Amino acid sequence: MAERTNHNFKVGILALQGDVEEHYNALQKVKNKPDFKISIVKAKTKKDIEESDALIIPGGESTTLSRLIEYYDLYDLIKNKRFILGTCAGLILMSKDILGKREWQKSLELLDITVSRNAYGSQVHSFSQKGIITLGKNSYEIVQTFIRAPKIVTVNSDKVRVISKLDDEITGVELKTDKVHYIGLTFHPELETELVHEYFVKSIHNYI
Ligand code: GLN
């Protein structure tokens, strides 16, 4: 367990592949706010992940991330984290049911949802659009950027709450229990805003 004082804990960004820097920058903005005492680590090794109280799984390529997680033997360590924010490929890895996955691709099975990989098309079909996200009691209109993004096809458990939408499409979910808080988004909030990171960090403060 990470060593920490009252309100100081470590947020790891899984740094095997993907948009690690963008998450790092968003977290830095949260860290610079007066109420938040966190340290941020780009987590590559077992030790980094063990020492992180919370983990962000960035966007990138879920097949590559899967392979690297297996290769470095990080699967169980990641699966056992109590606080995880996954964006795009990160969300895919968190989903129990992945349509269009490679047969060897292993899910972390943290969110009981069905996602469909690359559901908007290829890189050239990437786009940004305003959508609504609800973070705790507050709803915000934010720009949602989709890059070879998955779609959340169905939510298969009533414990998993829809928190974000783009028109009628579900673009974000969360699972919040007395033990864990997982957030999964099909888009990349880290490119536009630190609101989600702030909500995530604030939430962890309430648990530990
Ligand atoms: N299409 C990618 C995948 O299947 C995800 C893209 C992203 O994370 N921006 O993993």
Vertex 101 angle, CA 95 and 102, to 5°: 135
Evaluate whether residue 4 is within a structural domain.
Answer: no
SS3 96: strand
Least confident of 30-34, 72-76, 139-143, 171-175: 30-34
Distance CA 23, CA 89 (A): 14
- Residue with the bigger pLDDT between 170 and 121: it is 170
Mean pLDDT of the chain: 94
Evaluate whether residue 156 is within a structural domain.
Answer: yes
Distance CA 202, CA 199 (A): 5
User: Is 3 a residue whose pLDDT tops 60?
Assistant: no
Distances, alpha carbon 30 to alpha carbons 39, 42, 168, 173, in Å = 11, 16, 30, 21
Nearest protein CA to atom 1 of ligand 1, as residue: 148
Catalytic residue set = 88, 188, 190
Distance CA 102, CA 83 (A): 26
Residue 179 pLDDT grade (very low, low, confident, very high; cuts 50, 70, 90):
very high
Evaluate whether residue 55 is within a structural domain.
Answer: yes
Q: Indicate which CATH number applies to the domain containing 166.
A: 3.40.50.880
Nearest protein CA to atom 6 of ligand 1, as residue: 148
- Ligand 1 atom with minimal separation from the 18 CA: 8
pLDDT of amino acid 182: 98
Q: Which two tokens stand for residue 66?
A: 């899967």
Task: Determine the straight-line distance between the first and last CA of the chain, rounded to whole angstroms.
Answer: 12
Vertex 20 angle, CA 175 and 50, to 5°: 60
Most ligand 1 atoms within 8 A of CB, residue of 85, 125, 147, 151 to mutate: 147
Report CA Rg, the chain.
16
Q: Which two tokens stand for residue 39?
A: 């340290």
Distance in Å, CA 35 to ligand 1 centroid: 33
Evaluate whether residue 96 is within a structural domain.
Answer: yes
The tally of domains found in the chain comes to: 1
Distance in Å, CA 26 to ligand 1 centroid: 20
Least confident of 5-9, 92-96, 106-110: 5-9
pLDDT of amino acid 134: 98
Evaluate whether residue 197 is within a structural domain.
Answer: yes
Residue 90 pLDDT grade (very low, low, confident, very high; cuts 50, 70, 90):
very high
Evaluate whether residue 2 is within a structural domain.
Answer: no
| Beta strands per DSSP E along the chain | 8-14, 37-43, 54-57, 83-87, 95-99, 111-116, 127-135, 138-146, 151-155, 160-166, 169-176, 181-185
Evaluate whether residue 3 is within a structural domain.
Answer: no
Distances, alpha carbon 95 to alpha carbons 20, 24, 98, 130, 178, in Å = 20, 23, 6, 24, 20
Nearest to 81 by CA among 116, 56, 45: 56
pLDDT of amino acid 36: 83
Which amino acid makes up residue 115?
A: V
pLDDT in tens, 106-160: 999 999 999 999 999 888 889 999 999 999 999 999 999 999 999 999 999 999 9
Residue whose token pair is 């968190």 = 94
pLDDT in tens, 44-76: 999 999 999 999 999 999 999 999 999 999 999
User: Is 1 a residue whose pLDDT tops 80?
Assistant: no
Evaluate whether residue 1 is within a structural domain.
Answer: no
Q: Are strands 169-176 and 8-14 parallel, antiparallel or unpaired?
A: unpaired
Nearest protein CA to atom 5 of ligand 1, as residue: 89
pLDDT of amino acid 7: 55
Domain range holding 159?
9-207
